Amino acid sequence: MGPSPAFLRRACVPALALSLLVSGLVVPAAAALPGLQPAEATPAAGAEEPTPEPGSERAAQVEAKASGEKVVVDSATTPTDQTVANPDGTFTRTMNTAPVRMETSQGWVDISTDLVKTVEDGKTVIKPEQVPIDVTLGAGGSNVMASIDDKDGHSIEQSWPFGSLPVPVLVENTATYRQVLPGVDLVQIANKTGVSQVLKIESAEAAGDPRVAQMRFFLDTGNTTVAETGEGAITATGSDTGEVELHMSGGQWWDSSQPGSSALDPGTPGLTRPFEFTLGEDAGKQTQVFGMDEILDASDVQYPIYVDPPWNVLRTDYVMVDTAYPTTSYWNGAFGTSTQNVGYLPPNWPTDLKSHLARSYFQFEGKPFDATANLINARFEILETWSASCTPTGIASWVTSPVGPATTWNNQGFNDTPDPIRTDRGNVAKGWSSACPAGSVDAVLAYQEHAFLHGGIRYPQRFGCLCVVCQL
């Protein structure tokens, strides 16, 4: 697909959700929602209706009808999915790309990445309040940086190679260690599935420090073996499983040429440049080595510059592909923010002087609906945070084959789908100014009357591993 006259837009992933409305005042067993027990059949006249099992969809349905309020189906709740019974007898299921809640001894609680200090084994450490994996950050006074553990016995620990770190300044989910080298800050960012470290290099003088040019982190592994992917990324394979359990996508960097750029955001229009990682050894320890030459040799950059390597558990939520870097995977954002890009930018906009055409994929991995479920409609919702003007430009949503950490422009779900389904299209512009502020963008994925059958397959079955691609 050739470049379009429309400009790049950005979408905020945390607001992303797929909402499915399924009918069933009394849901037959064959049409029950995934993860739910089938509702009881309508009792014969005069027969006493059995008491529904607490927490079941039938119990929620009865309570919703009696109260006139929506009721959560407890037995169908997962980290990414929630089903509610509506007073009219229907069910609404919302599926998120990334976990939004986690189960604890007190029940389901919202995930929080805000950092707090706590004590473990007699040592002060910093941890996010409530996330489904174990992320720990160093509290300063030593070279301990961060550790990530998937809670299944696989871990990676990182440490700083240039002495002890200072006590960090904590703001929400970020820990800033100031002046870890002259003119260099280390910013660690906790997220739902891992941690990112951003190096803020304030000036060309700071970038000229030999330690910056030879930047690396020490790595210690737990029940894992790390290896290079050959594409600038590093993976950690479980010694017990033989499967990739932790993943560090190739690094990204950006400068201060765009408004709003910071350690947390490359600014508008949100473009980053990739760089590669390799494995090395220093003082008998394994190291994660930055490909700094790609960054320090770049011309016409504005300082400070930001260099970001993230480690995450291997969960596929979303990925962007870009014609400017056709072999690069922007898996799960691949930098400290959670934004994705869609659309076209001409070469006079970005600092890399390349033309960009981006698509973004979002994957929902809920259990499939039964083929006979009466799906009334499905809506895909995302927050658009920036566009290049207030002139509405075209955008479309498609259902494609699954994506993953290896998805790039040259290897993407859209190309791999023989007959992708376009589910909606429209013209939008949100986030340029107060005249067109940031806001929600909805896309219709399915209707009861049409687009319900495709290739002889009933549409609900596709929601077992749904990948939605947004593009122009």
Q: What is the mean pLDDT of residues 423-433?
A: 85
Task: Return the higher-pLDDT residue of 340 and 437.
Answer: 437
Could you read off the pLDDT of 119-151 as tens digits, one per residue? Answer: 988 899 999 999 989 999 999 999 999 999 998
Residue 255 and residue 210 in contact, taking contact as beta carbons nearer than 8 Å:
no
Task: Return the higher-pLDDT residue of 4 and 258.
Answer: 258
Q: What is the mean pLDDT of residues 341-369?
A: 78
Task: Return the higher-pLDDT residue of 38 and 154.
Answer: 154
Could you read off the pLDDT of 407-425 as tens digits, one per residue? Answer: 889 988 777 767 777 778 8
Give me the pLDDT at residue 378, please: 74
Task: Return the higher-pLDDT residue of 214 and 346.
Answer: 214
CATH assignment of 107-314, given 2.60.40, 2.40.50, 2.70.98, 3.30.870? Answer: 2.70.98
456: three-class secondary structure by DSSP: coil
DSSP codes, 217-262: EEEEEESEEEEE-SSS-EEEEETTT-SEEEEEPPEEEE-S-STT-B
| Location of each CATH 2.70.98 domain in the chain | 107-314
Q: Is the pLDDT of residue 109 over 80?
A: yes
- Residue 175 token pair: 């820990």
Predicted TM-score (pTM) of the model is: 0.79
Q: Which of the given ranges, 101-110, 138-147, 377-386, has the highest pLDDT on average?
A: 138-147
Give the closest residue to 236 by CA, choosing from 115, 405, 364: 405
Q: What is the mean pLDDT of residues 91-105?
A: 85
Q: Is the pLDDT of residue 241 over 80?
A: yes
Question: Average pLDDT of the chain?
Answer: 80
Give me the pLDDT at residue 161, please: 95
The model's confidence at residue 426, banded by pLDDT at 50, 70 and 90, is confident
User: Letter for the amino acid at 267?
Assistant: G
Beta-carbon count within 10 A of 47 CB = 8
* Residues paired with residue 48 on neighbouring β-strands, in sequence order: none
Could you read off the pLDDT of 36-86 as tens digits, one per residue? Answer: 333 333 445 555 567 888 878 889 989 999 999 999 988 888 888 888 999
CA distance 429 to 395: 10
- Residue 388 token pair: 């290049």
Beta-carbon count within 10 A of 455 CB = 7
